[in-house]
Amino acid sequence: MFHKTNLQDWEAVVQKQLKTDDIYSVLSKENLEGILIKPYYDKVSKPLENLPKVAESTHLVSAYHESSEDNAFAFLLDHNVEGLMEKALFVNNKDLAEHISLEEENTYFSLIDLFSEDEKGEINEQLGKELLAKNFNRNIGINVALHQNAGASIVQQLAYSLGKAKELTEIFGAEILKKIVFRVALGSNYFFEIGKIRALKLVFNQLSKEFGFDEIPFIFAETSLRNKSKSDAENNLIRSTLELSAAMIGGADAVFSNDYKMENAGSLSEEISFKQQVVLAYESIINVFDDAGNGSYYIENLTKQFAEKSWKLFLEMEDEGGYCTLLKTGKIQKDIYEQALKEQNWVAEGKIKLIGVNLYPKLEVTKTAEEMYDPSKITVVRLAEMFE
């Protein structure tokens, strides 16, 4: 039998090792999310129930290549490919969605987002109607990977996911909640990103209950571009592996690896990027669990904090007119800009460490944080661009 260590026992050991009674000031760690992190967890109040996913087993999604047709069972499609059978196909191009010929043996998911993401604050209703007329398993994409890559916080990403879903219900009716794919990008903060995926399940389910449903979100998770560097591809590969692992443990329904090479990418680097998923899935089998993070005190605590904070922000957005209205006023763009600037300055100050970029750097600073961002636009910006 293992001896259970209570909080007081742990504190006594750490006080002795650190030679101070004030251990929490030493062990506390600031974060950009405003999340309270404790150095030790011995319980969780009101444990969460298992947070299921839609897919029975996480789809390992590859960019399409003829050579991978026999070995991959899910593809991200930007152009039409005929003759595929018994595949899960994630349609990533609105022109393709309009003309793709459907095979009964395949399953189809749309990643196409209808929002303009600019000061126009528009939703392409006609495109939405055309997509909903298709015999897809899921017809409409909600892209918040863009927001993550532009520098939005996790709380903002989750609130924007809900805001966009709510806008769609007002145009297409509440049934649209059953036809959405959430596209998210995962960064390097491993446990935070696991909590993000799980929190999205909580808050979306809560939103669906407002309309009389009990829905689970379908989550397509991809590796981030924000923390990748042109000059350090090997470290990009390590970061992507952690991001994919977080997605699977968090319970994503599909995962996709963007090419780990920012320059000189090719079929080999694309294949290596995809095979990260294969190794994780077949060596650890984490892709088959509904909710592998369930029962972890730390992850449960993070999940609840992200869910509570993002729901609060979502309600504040609704009080101010909703997601599209806030795009038109420029508030969404400005909020992301301010958050991105904080993160970039943390990189400049060394509070966020990127090996090969600002830790053991190969390059010198070439531009300031203010030069990298535009407060009026939601634009993908890599943190390493400061040094490139």
Q: What is the pLDDT of residue 172?
A: 98
Residue 279 tokens, joined: 């190794």
Question: Between 360 and 365, where is the model more confident?
Answer: 365
What does the CA dihedral 167, 171, 175, 177 come to, rounded to 10 degrees?
Answer: -20
> What mean pLDDT is reported for the chain?
92
pLDDT-derived band of residue 198, with 50, 70 and 90 as boundaries? very high
pLDDT in tens, 209-260: 999 999 999 999 999 999 999 888 889 999 999 999 999 999 999 999 999 9
Q: What is the pLDDT of residue 11?
A: 87
Share of the chain above pLDDT 90, in %: 71
Segments of the chain assigned E as strands = 59-63, 74-77, 88-91, 107-110, 140-143, 180-186, 218-223, 254-256
Asked whether the beta carbons of 235 and 243 are under 8 A apart, the reply is no
Judge whether residue 1 has pLDDT over 60. Answer: no
Q: What is the pLDDT of residue 327?
A: 98
Alpha-carbon distance 167 to 156, whole Å? 16
pTM for this model (two decimals): 0.93
Angle at 356 between CA 354 and CA 361, to 5 degrees: 105
Residue 225 tokens, joined: 């571009």
The predicted model gives 56-85 an average pLDDT of 91
Q: What is the pLDDT of residue 356?
A: 66
Least confident stretch, 21-25, 91-95, 119-123, 165-169: 21-25
Q: What is the pLDDT of residue 155?
A: 98
pLDDT in tens, 278-329: 999 988 888 888 898 999 999 999 999 999 999 999 999 999 999 999 999 9
Least confident stretch, 31-40, 106-115, 296-305, 350-359: 350-359
Least confident stretch, 169-178, 199-208, 261-270: 261-270
Q: What is the pLDDT of residue 218?
A: 98
The one-letter amino acid at 349:
E
Judge whether residue 47 has pLDDT over 80. Answer: yes
The predicted model gives 175-201 an average pLDDT of 97
Q: Which residue has the tokens 């991959």?
A: 72
Angle at 257 between CA 339 and CA 278, to 5 degrees: 140
Share of the chain above pLDDT 70, in %: 97
Q: Shortest CA distance to 183 belongs to which of 276, 117, 110?
A: 110
Q: What is the pLDDT of residue 364?
A: 78
The dihedral sign for the CA sequence 154, 247, 63, 140: negative
Alpha-carbon distance 260 to 222, whole Å? 12
Question: Between 21 and 179, where is the model more confident?
Answer: 179
pLDDT-derived band of residue 8, with 50, 70 and 90 as boundaries? confident
